[in-house]
Amino acid sequence: MTHAAPGAIPGDPDHVLRLATEQGPDGPVVALTGDLDYESAPRLVDALTRVAVPDGDTLTLDLSDVRFFDSGGINALLRARNALQERGSDLVVCELSPVVERIFRITGLDTVLVPGGPAGTGTGTGTGPAAG
């Protein structure tokens, strides 16, 4: 029998993605650590849709410790955001690792999921827009 690492998403033994949740001023803040890819993405969506977010509140993701991010991660974030919006809540990102920041810029997600503007304008990890 295998045991998942503490805070790991259940069923994700090969691509460990860990979640840590705390309460922020506008709702829950979930910090992700590890790989957010096509294998971990479905389990992340499931985990995020189970986080209690009151109507009108926002679920904030801290992606500063995400070390790998691909199209599965993009899909997961957009699916989770849509699911939350259907419940009257929202999803935003407050911090980006350099690899996530680069992909957000390339795809335009920095204009969708990062409040206040594109990544690298005070919402990232301080690495600036040229990171990654």
pLDDT (0 to 100) of residue 120: 47
**Bigger pLDDT: 9 or 123?**
9
Domain annotation for the chain: domains and CATH numbers: 17-111 (3.30.750.24)
- To the nearest whole number, what is the mean pLDDT of the chain? 81
Give the three-class secondary structure for 35. strand
Residue 118 pLDDT:
52
Question: Residues with Cβ < 8 Å from 114, sequence gap 6 or more?
Answer: 92, 93, 94, 96, 104, 123
Could you read off the pLDDT of 22-56 as tens digits, one per residue? 998 889 999 999 999 999 999 899 899 889 998 88
Work out the angle at residue 106's Cα, subtended by the Cα atoms of residues 66 and 64, and round it to the nearest 5 degrees.
20
CB 86 within 8 A of CB 58: no
What pLDDT does residue 50 have? 87
